[in-house]
């Protein structure tokens, strides 16, 4: 009996585990909804894959292949480069090896679609060379996508630095975002990185569609503005936008500290524990780490804290698996005697923990997060109210959405120097875990979780958006 030909798509996340996770989870979800597809995940990198990356790749189902591109070199930057530039340069320096891989794939099968993210817009030219319809998978919120789609227009119409604007940014449908809350590259319009972002943004309109990891009830205004037809008031000119989320990690990114965390959580009262984590690579300064430790201790609340070595640059460990996932003795970085004094109150693990298992656990009552979009959606899917502690990238915008618009997070106030002091930490930790405000936040988070589950249900908005997309890919193939 002849086997039915499958539709083949290729996906190319930019470097970093927090990009890889939503891309492969998107592929898994597509296959779950429609088993006519086969996916090849192409992984660019600038060094050997981290433990967490290997764990994800090794657990992929057979309908998803993976290919690691040869690592690119940054030997021409002897003093190192910041993570965001590493991401952009890894993508552009991988073009020759990507071309090679796509050439080999199209020699064996038709590719119905090629998906990359914002940082991979240079790779659209390679997809074009092979006549593969190109799409963007945007693993961040619709609010951030609308900022990028509007960036070329804002660049022409706004005469000053965005941070000096007296009111919120004028982005149709978006929540009121102030210029100072935009990601770092938007803070200095004369910088090279801003120009680089602007160029990436300009290319977004070249693709045939943009999938965004969000759902209608979470970001109604931003999604609607991008889905309005050209010429309608309040519209943002965009290729078709497909809100297909929330898509979150389903497997485990590593079993580091897995049994230790679950055994400890099993022995704590329901909803009593604050989970504290700054994503795949967020770090605190030495002074801030000390304040957080003392604040957690003084709060008297239970906590499970994933501790990293301190660093003055909050994104320093991002893309550096030695800094972000390497093992070390947490007592080296914590205040003297902290581990002894908080024995029984808290569990501290070094570098990495099974986040999904921790958030799923009934003993976990809240999540102190850096507001990375994956962590945010994971908090939503498990109905855990948040403490918002943004560090870099678009996290400040996410925090505004969570605290001021959706009202599912508390935010500690920083002093003028930017430091969040121990008393402020005590206030928000107690407020979230045992205060009335925490209860209200928890209820709203549960409502959001219900809305997320509705979006993902059989007839839900995200399921329909994904079906529409799958049909589009199948029809593009059929019309060849
Ligand atoms: N993560 C994890 N264990 C950790 C830290 C992070 O499994 O100890 C996962 C987390 O569940 C999420 C991703 O890594 O899926 C982090 O992505 P996010 O967008 O929240 O932050 P980023 O890493 O981009 O700053």
Domain annotation covers residue 124: yes
- Does 184 share its domain with 209? yes
Confidence class for position 315, pLDDT limits 50, 70, 90? confident
- Does 263 share its domain with 203? no
**Number of Cβ atoms within 10 Å of the Cβ of 106:** 16
State yes or no: pLDDT of 190 exceeds 80.
yes
- Tell me the two tokens of residue 160: 């000053």
pTM: 0.96
What is the structure's pLDDT at 1?
42
241-243 and 210-212: which strand pairing? parallel
State yes or no: pLDDT of 291 exceeds 70.
yes
246 preceded by a cis bond (ω within 30 of 0): yes
Confidence class for position 317, pLDDT limits 50, 70, 90? confident
Confidence class for position 405, pLDDT limits 50, 70, 90? very high
Q: How far is the CA of 280 from the centre of ligand 1 (A)?
A: 4
- Does 283 share its domain with 404? yes
CA distances from 284 to 162, 306, 441 (A): 27, 12, 26
- Does 428 share its domain with 466? no
Atom of ligand 1 nearest to the CA of 248: 15
Q: Region 403-408: what's the mean pLDDT?
A: 98
Confidence class for position 78, pLDDT limits 50, 70, 90? confident
Q: Region 135-163: what's the mean pLDDT?
A: 97
Atom of ligand 1 nearest to the CA of 19: 24
**Number of Cβ atoms within 10 Å of the Cβ of 67:** 16
Name the percent of the chain lying above pLDDT 70: 98
Q: At what angle do helices 422-434 and 286-299 cross, to 10 degrees?
A: 40
Domain annotation covers residue 181: yes
Domain annotation covers residue 279: yes
Domain annotation covers residue 320: yes
Contact yes or no for 451/217 (Cβ under 8 A): yes
Cα separation, 138 vs 219, in Å, equals: 14
Domain annotation covers residue 189: yes
Tokens 């593969």 belong to 132
State yes or no: pLDDT of 326 exceeds 90.
no
Q: How far is the CA of 403 from the centre of ligand 1 (A)?
A: 20
Residues with CB under 6 A from ligand 1: 17-18, 21, 249, 253, 277, 279-282, 306, 352-353, 355-356, 372-375, 378
Give how many domains the chain has, as a whole number: 2
Atom of ligand 1 nearest to the CA of 391: 25
CA distances from 374 to 21, 34, 91, 304 (A): 8, 24, 21, 19
Phi, psi of 417 (to 5 degrees): -75, -10
CATH at residue 231: 3.40.50.2000
- Does 431 share its domain with 473? no
Domain annotation covers residue 2: no
372 preceded by a cis bond (ω within 30 of 0): no
- Does 141 share its domain with 280? no
- Does 128 share its domain with 274? no
Over residues 36-60, the pLDDT tens digits come to 999 999 999 988 888 889 999 999 9
What is the structure's pLDDT at 103?
97
Cα separation, 278 vs 389, in Å, equals: 8
What is the structure's pLDDT at 337?
97
- Does 58 share its domain with 126? yes
- Does 52 share its domain with 163? yes
Domain annotation covers residue 1: no
Domain annotation covers residue 342: yes
What is the structure's pLDDT at 80?
84
- Does 185 share its domain with 38? yes
What is the structure's pLDDT at 280?
93
Q: How far is the CA of 355 from the centre of ligand 1 (A)?
A: 8
- Does 299 share its domain with 181? no
What is the structure's pLDDT at 2?
44
Supply the range of the domain harboring residue 85: 7-248+458-478
Confidence class for position 441, pLDDT limits 50, 70, 90? very high
Over residues 108-122, the pLDDT tens digits come to 989 999 999 999 999
Confidence class for position 480, pLDDT limits 50, 70, 90? low
State yes or no: pLDDT of 18 exceeds 60.
yes
Q: How far is the CA of 199 from the centre of ligand 1 (A)?
A: 27
Residues belonging to the active site? 19, 117
Cα separation, 50 vs 396, in Å, equals: 27
- Does 462 share its domain with 450? no
């Amino acid at each position: 009996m002849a086997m039915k030909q499958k539709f083949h798509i290729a996906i190319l996340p930019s470097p970093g585990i927090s990009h890889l996770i939503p891309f492969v989870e998107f592929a898994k979800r597509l296959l779950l909804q429609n088993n006519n597809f086969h996916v090849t995940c192409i992984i660019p990198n600038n060094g050997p894959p981290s433990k967490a990356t290997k764990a994800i790749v090794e657990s992929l189902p057979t309908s998803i292949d993976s290919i690691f591109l040869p690592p690119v070199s940054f030997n021409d930057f002897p003093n190192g480069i910041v993570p965001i530039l590493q991401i952009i340069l890894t993508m552009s320096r991988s073009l020759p090896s990507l071309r090679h891989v796509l050439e080999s794939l199209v020699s064996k099968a038709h590719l119905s679609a090629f998906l990359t993210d914002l940082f991979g817009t240079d790779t659209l030219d390679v997809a074009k060379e092979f006549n593969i319809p190109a799409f963007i998978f945007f693993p961040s919120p619709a609010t951030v996508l609308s900022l990028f789609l509007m960036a070329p227009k804002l660049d022409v119409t706004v005469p000053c630095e965005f941070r000096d604007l007296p009111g919120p940014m004028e982005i149709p449908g978006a929540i009121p975002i102030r210029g100072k809350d935009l990601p770092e590259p938007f803070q200095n319009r004369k910088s090279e990185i801003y120009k680089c972002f602007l160029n990436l943004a300009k290319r977004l309109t070249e693709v045939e569609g943009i999938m965004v990891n969000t759902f209608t009830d979470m970001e109604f205004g931003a999604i609607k503005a991008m889905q309005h037809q050209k010429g309608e008031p309040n519209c943002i000119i965009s290729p078709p936008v497909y809100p297909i989320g929330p898509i979150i990690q389903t497997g485990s990114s590593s079993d580091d500290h897995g049994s230790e965390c679950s055994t400890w959580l099993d022995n704590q009262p329901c909803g009593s524990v604050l989970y504290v984590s700054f994503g795949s690579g967020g770090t605190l300064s030495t002074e801030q780490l000390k304040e957080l430790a003392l604040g957690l201790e003084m709060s008297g609340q239970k906590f499970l804290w994933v501790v990293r070595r301190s660093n003055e640059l909050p994104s320093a460990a991002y893309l550096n698996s030695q800094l972000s996932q390497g093992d070390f003795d947490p007592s080296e970085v914590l205040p003297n005697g902290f581990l002894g004094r908080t024995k029984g109150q808290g569990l501290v693990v070094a570098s990495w923990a099974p986040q999904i298992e921790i958030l799923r656990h009934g003993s976990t009552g809240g999540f102190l997060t850096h507001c990375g979009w994956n962590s945010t959606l994971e908090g939503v899917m498990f109905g855990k109210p948040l403490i918002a502690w943004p560090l870099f990238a678009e996290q400040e915008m996410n925090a505004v959405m969570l605290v001021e618009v959706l009202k599912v997070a508390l935010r500690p106030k920083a002093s003028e120097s930017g430091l969040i002091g121990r008393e402020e930490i005590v206030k928000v930790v107690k407020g979230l875990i045992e205060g009335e405000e925490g209860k209200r936040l928890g209820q709203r988070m549960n409502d959001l979780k219900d809305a997320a589950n509705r979006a993902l249900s059989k007839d839900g908005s995200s399921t329909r958006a994904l079906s529409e997309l799958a049909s589009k890919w199948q029809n593009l193939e059929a019309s060849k």
